[in-house]
Chains A and B, each alone.
Chain A
Amino acid sequence: MGPAAAVQELGWYALRFVDQLGKLTVFAAQILRALASPPVRVRVFVQAVFDVGVLSLIIICVSGTAVGMVLSLQGYNTLVRFGAEQSLGAVVGLSLIRELGPVLTALLATGRAGSATAAEIGTMVATEQLDGLRMMAVDPIDLVVAPKALAMTVAMPLLSALFITFGLFGGYLVGVGLMGIDGGTYMSSLQSAVDFRDDVLGSLLKALVFGGLVGLIATFRGFTSAPTSAGVSAATTSTVVVASVCILLFDYVITALWGV
């Protein structure tokens, strides 16, 4: 491939990226408009939250515990070198709350619920269900897309909080049960290190942003997927890839800007 072709290729990717970004923005605006205008679809929304939550519940609890345990183990091994193992609660708590909780929850929820959302909407496109809705004078963005995107946004902080809770529990298990740190020391170190406004609210806000991102990307990919089985599977895969990368990028940006 000559240099001209390479530049051409690059230009094509750049154009496509900008094109997709523009479409995504319009799509987001359509979702917001659908949410703001009647009818308010409470039942569909509650069902969507239930779907997202139930799909991700077990994986969140198990992963949270495991991450808390390994964090505690690693933290102990490092801290003990400096004779600072009393601060284990602070280390586990701060890393879980400020960073690992929201990020890992978002990545896990992307793999589980995000891909499922993209596949479900993609299948509805492929089987003309969305066109069927349009012909019944029902806006598919209003009925299908907006509730799912909102549900993902709302569920993410809840799932993240759950992840963190189980992580703290896992950390306690290893630190106190295995490594023999005093339970009271662990808890008081945790309590004095974590600030509610800066750390906990910031963490929830981060999770909220991630939830919005995943919800938007998953529904967009599903909604614009090609009406074939290959199209549905491509939408599912690209949801996971694009959303994961976006989560990590936004994580840096949010941390740099807001300090959480």
Chain B
Amino acid sequence: MNLTPDAAGADVHVALERVDMAFGDRQVFRGLSCAFAAGKVSVILGGSGSGKSTVLRLIGGLVRPQAGHIFVAGEDVTCLSERQLYGVRKKLGMMFQGGALLDSLTIYENLAFPLREHTSLDERAIAAAVHRRLDAVGLTDVDRLLPSQLSGGMLRRAALARAIILDPVIVLCDEPFSGLDPVSVKRIENLLVQINQRLGITIVLVSHHIASTMRMAEHVVLLLQSDDHHPGTTAVAGSPEELRQSSDPRVVAFLTDECDDGDARAADVAAGNT
């Protein structure tokens, strides 16, 4: 795995600068700025509907902000055409909240698809690559199944396997832990940390799972909506320790609330949203 020069050189791999984002007249962000360091595991926290998935979609260039700039691996994706975006996206691997696997293809074909599109590997090499990723996320005997035949948790793991199959420079994961049993959570957690440490891949993940966030995150971004005292969307960022010691009442409220019974709440949230 070779990092591109600009990515290896720069400390900041992904950055949002004063981003305004609205869907119709529904304002999601106003003046949001945050950054994700290269080669680190960053976690985006925030209440349900606070726009965590939207941050990932903005980074991928799937939606465009009304104002502000978004830098991904040195390029401002808000200024790129759809065609130029494809160049940036080749460096990204994205796992969607709902999996987003192609439902007309089997799991094997789904994972092989990016390889067939972007590499010239032969069938043997493709099969080996696919099975290595499936093993890594703990899925066996799913080659011939269609996505509709998988459970939600299996689907999400298959989606993660697809997101990392091309060894991207940046991996974006939308709630990889929701709906998983503790063993699978641990496995996915280890996998993400492992690809981060071994390959130096930048990982940005959205999670409701406070326990695993505190274990694996090197950098946490907490999205807070504007209120009477704080105009605009604020992103409180820092290491997990720094966030814990924060005196901002909104951060304290979010973390203590979640820390009390983080897993139970995460399960609630997952059940309500997936």
Binding site for B on A (CB under 8 A): 123-124, 127-129, 131-139
A260 and B90 CA atoms in complex are apart in Å by 50
* Across-interface contacts of A132 in B (CB, < 8 A): 94, 96, 100-102
B89 touches A128 (CB 8 A): no
A135 touches B113 (CB 8 A): no
Shortest CB distance A121–B (Å): 12
Shortest CB distance A61–B (Å): 27
* Across-interface contacts of A134 in B (CB, < 8 A): 60, 62, 85, 89
Known: A136-B89, A136-B117. 8 other contacts (CB 8 A): A128-B98, A131-B60, A134-B85, A135-B62, A135-B89, A135-B92, A135-B96, A137-B86
* Across-interface contacts of B102 in A (CB, < 8 A): 124, 129, 132-133
Question: How many A-B pairs fall under 8 Å by CB?
Answer: 49
* Across-interface contacts of A136 in B (CB, < 8 A): 89, 113-114, 117-118
**A128-B86 in contact given A135-B62, A138-B117 (Cβ < 8 Å):** no
* Across-interface contacts of B89 in A (CB, < 8 A): 134-137
- 16 A–B pairs (Cβ distance < 8 Å), ordered by A: A123-B103, A124-B103, A127-B98, A128-B96, A128-B98, A129-B102, A131-B57, A132-B96, A132-B100, A135-B60, A135-B92, A135-B94, A135-B96, A136-B89, A136-B117, A137-B89
Interface of A, helix, strand, loop or mixed by DSSP: helix
A127 and B89 CA atoms in complex are apart in Å by 20
State the interface size on chain B (CB cutoff 8 A). 22
* Across-interface contacts of B117 in A (CB, < 8 A): 136-138
Kindly list the 5 A-B residue pairs having the minimum CB-CB distance in the complex, ordered from nearest: A132-B100, A128-B100, A135-B94, A137-B86, A137-B89
A128 and B90 CA atoms in complex are apart in Å by 18
A129 touches B62 (CB 8 A): no
- Give the residue among B86, B98, B102, B118 with the most A Cβ atoms within 10 A: B102
* Across-interface contacts of A129 in B (CB, < 8 A): 100-103
* Across-interface contacts of A131 in B (CB, < 8 A): 57, 60, 62, 96, 100
* Across-interface contacts of B87 in A (CB, < 8 A): 137
User: Which B residues, 93 to 112, have Cβ-Cβ distances below 8 Å to chain A?
Assistant: 93-94, 96, 98, 100-103
* Across-interface contacts of A135 in B (CB, < 8 A): 60, 62, 89, 92-94, 96
Shortest CB distance A39–B (Å): 8
Look across to chain B and name the residue whose beta carbon is closest to the beta carbon of A139: B86
* Across-interface contacts of B62 in A (CB, < 8 A): 131, 134-135
* Across-interface contacts of A124 in B (CB, < 8 A): 102-103
* Across-interface contacts of B94 in A (CB, < 8 A): 132, 135
A136 and B90 CA atoms in complex are apart in Å by 7
Look across to chain B and name the residue whose beta carbon is closest to the beta carbon of A126: B98
A138 and B115 CA atoms in complex are apart in Å by 12
Look across to chain A and name the residue whose beta carbon is closest to the beta carbon of B93: A135
* Across-interface contacts of B57 in A (CB, < 8 A): 131
Indicate which residue in B90, B96, B98, B100 contacts A137 across the interface (CB closer than 8 Å): B90
Indicate which residue in B60, B90, B103, B118 contacts A127 across the interface (CB closer than 8 Å): B103
Look across to chain A and name the residue whose beta carbon is closest to the beta carbon of B56: A135
* Across-interface contacts of B113 in A (CB, < 8 A): 136
A128 and B101 CA atoms in complex are apart in Å by 8
- Give the residue among A124, A127, A137 with the most B Cβ atoms within 10 A: A137
B51-77: CB near A (< 8 Å → 1, else 0) gives: 000000100101000000000000000
A134 and B93 CA atoms in complex are apart in Å by 11
Shortest CB distance A185–B (Å): 51
A123 and B86 CA atoms in complex are apart in Å by 23
A23 and B85 CA atoms in complex are apart in Å by 21
Shortest CB distance A45–B (Å): 15
- Give the residue among A123, A124, A127, A136 with the most B Cβ atoms within 10 A: A136
* Across-interface contacts of B60 in A (CB, < 8 A): 131, 134-135
A15 and B79 CA atoms in complex are apart in Å by 29
A133 and B104 CA atoms in complex are apart in Å by 13
A134 and B62 CA atoms in complex are apart in Å by 8
* Across-interface contacts of B96 in A (CB, < 8 A): 128, 131-132, 135
Look across to chain B and name the residue whose beta carbon is closest to the beta carbon of A141: B82
* Across-interface contacts of B118 in A (CB, < 8 A): 136-137
A39 and B73 CA atoms in complex are apart in Å by 27
